[in-house]
Amino acid sequence: MRDDAAFLSGPPASRLAALRDAIGRADLDALLVTGLPSIRYLTGFSGSNALLLVSAIECVLLTDFRYEAQVADEVAPHTTVKIEPTSLWAGLWPSIAAIPGVERIGFESAHLLHRDFARLLEQGGRWQWRPTADLVEALRAVKDPGEVAHIRRAVAMAEQALDRTLSVLRPGLTETMVAGVLEQHLREAGSEAFPFPSIVASGPRSALPHARAGDRRLELGDFVLLDFGAVAHGYCSDITRTVVLGTATSEQRTVYEIVREANVRASGAIRVGMRGLAADAVARDYIDACGFGDAFGHSLGHGIGLEVHEAPRLAKTVEAPLATGMVVTIEPGIYRPGWGGVRIEDDVLLTDAGAEVLTTFARHLIEIA
């Protein structure tokens, strides 16, 4: 497991070697990387403005003067850094021209803005530009030990913040107030950012899977759904717990236990080699057998890493098999409009020895007195 000092020296060169293999298999001479998470994955650079050009012999990072000191601390030694005084795009063309044998260049079709695609056609017309999909994302889906260590830390931060937040829940607080308390505790636990706006949904609003925290005040008897995460060295966690403010009704207990059992079954069954749709079916089939199939409308889960939603996906349309080193969420839910909803979400690491649930926070129904 690499320590923080090793991480600051940049990602391992093996990532770049793997990408170069993928570039060759795609019949390309180079790849223009514009997605910032992928640039960070390949070089270590965490700034907000960059282009990365990768060929068989060169890895060139273009950024601006704001990051001149930062790149010295972050960027891997296998990367050539160019600080551009005006436009990164203006600096790209001579960078390409300086690399011999480059004619066919891939671009990331999921990340390149149309205006920037127009630049490729208008100013970079001497080269052949070809769309690509997920060349870097496929590599990012499998985490190395250092990446897993950062995700573990992000999970621990999130769980610490959740424990402290539940201790102050009470009727009368608005969802926005609770989100503020939660995010304060995330920062105090060491989270460097929030992977997404924290979801706090109470009462009937807990039936909204991606509700924004609003001005509704918590009431006795409410389900309170909290979906949030922490970030450690750029790597995300993503956790959901649903609690009851006061004493749960028998109906609330029934629905909660169905979701909890679906979560346990899926976490226990998921394994290397299983297809995404098969993992999804473990939880979905159980919820359907309990009579709530129509109330579970989203997929079972997704990968987490430098982004909170990345490959792989656990969904009923996904045929791709899961691989060792992937970290995924398991998040079944039941949502009943006008009544409320329950989701229980854990982060799970796939290993050759089986699945390891990284999330340790209690899954039993918590009633906040």
> Same structural domain for residues 96 and 201?
no
> Same structural domain for residues 311 and 205?
yes
> Same structural domain for residues 284 and 204?
yes
CA-based end-to-end distance of the chain: 42
Question: What CA–CA distance (Å, rounded) separates 147 from 140?
Answer: 10
Q: Give the pLDDT confidence score for residue 183 in this predicted structure.
A: 98
pLDDT tens string 83-102:
999 899 999 999 999 999 99
Instruction: Tell me which of 139, 163, 185 is where a domain ends.
Output: 139
Q: Give the pLDDT confidence score for residue 316 in this predicted structure.
A: 95
7 or 262, greater pLDDT: 262
| pLDDT band for position 6 (cuts 50, 70, 90) | very low
Q: Give the pLDDT confidence score for residue 3 in this predicted structure.
A: 40
| pLDDT band for position 59 (cuts 50, 70, 90) | very high
250 contacts 341 by C-beta, under 8 angstroms: no
> Same structural domain for residues 127 and 175?
no
344 contacts 296 by C-beta, under 8 angstroms: no
> Same structural domain for residues 167 and 41?
no
pTM of the shown model: 0.94
Instruction: Tell me which of 139, 166, 200 is where a domain ends.
Output: 139
> Same structural domain for residues 103 and 135?
yes
pLDDT above 70 (res 318): yes
The amino acid sitting at 150 is H
287 contacts 315 by C-beta, under 8 angstroms: no
189 contacts 157 by C-beta, under 8 angstroms: yes
> Same structural domain for residues 149 and 121?
no
CATH number at 99 reads: 3.40.350.10
pLDDT tens string 152-169:
999 999 999 999 999 999
> Same structural domain for residues 8 and 124?
yes
pLDDT above 50 (res 7): no
- CB-count burial class (<10 Å; 0-12, 13-18, 19+) for 106: buried
> Same structural domain for residues 135 and 149?
no
Domain with 63 in it: 4-139
Question: What CA–CA distance (Å, rounded) separates 348 from 232?
Answer: 17
Per DSSP bridges, beta strands 327-330 and 333-336 are: unpaired
Phi and psi torsions of 350, nearest 5°: -95, 125
| pLDDT band for position 9 (cuts 50, 70, 90) | low
Question: What CA–CA distance (Å, rounded) separates 254 from 15?
Answer: 47
54 contacts 21 by C-beta, under 8 angstroms: no
Total number of domains in the chain: 2
> Same structural domain for residues 328 and 228?
yes
Q: Structure tokens of 313? A: 């996906």
What number is the average pLDDT over the span 238-254? 98
pLDDT tens string 185-214:
999 999 999 999 999 999 999 999 999 999
> Same structural domain for residues 152 and 263?
yes
SS3 324: coil
> Same structural domain for residues 120 and 149?
no
CATH number at 246 reads: 3.90.230.10
| pLDDT band for position 4 (cuts 50, 70, 90) | very low
Instruction: Tell me which of 78, 105, 139 is where a domain ends.
Output: 139
Provide DSSP, 194-222: -SSPPEEEEGGGGGSTTPPP-SPBP-TT-
pLDDT averaged over the chain? 95
Q: Give the pLDDT confidence score for residue 125 in this predicted structure.
A: 86
Q: Give the pLDDT confidence score for residue 124 in this predicted structure.
A: 84
What number is the average pLDDT over the span 338-355? 97
pLDDT tens string 128-146:
999 999 999 999 999 999 9
The amino acid sitting at 274 is M
Q: What is the DSSP letter of 273?
A: T
Q: Give the pLDDT confidence score for residue 2 in this predicted structure.
A: 35
pLDDT above 60 (res 16): yes
pLDDT above 90 (res 260): yes
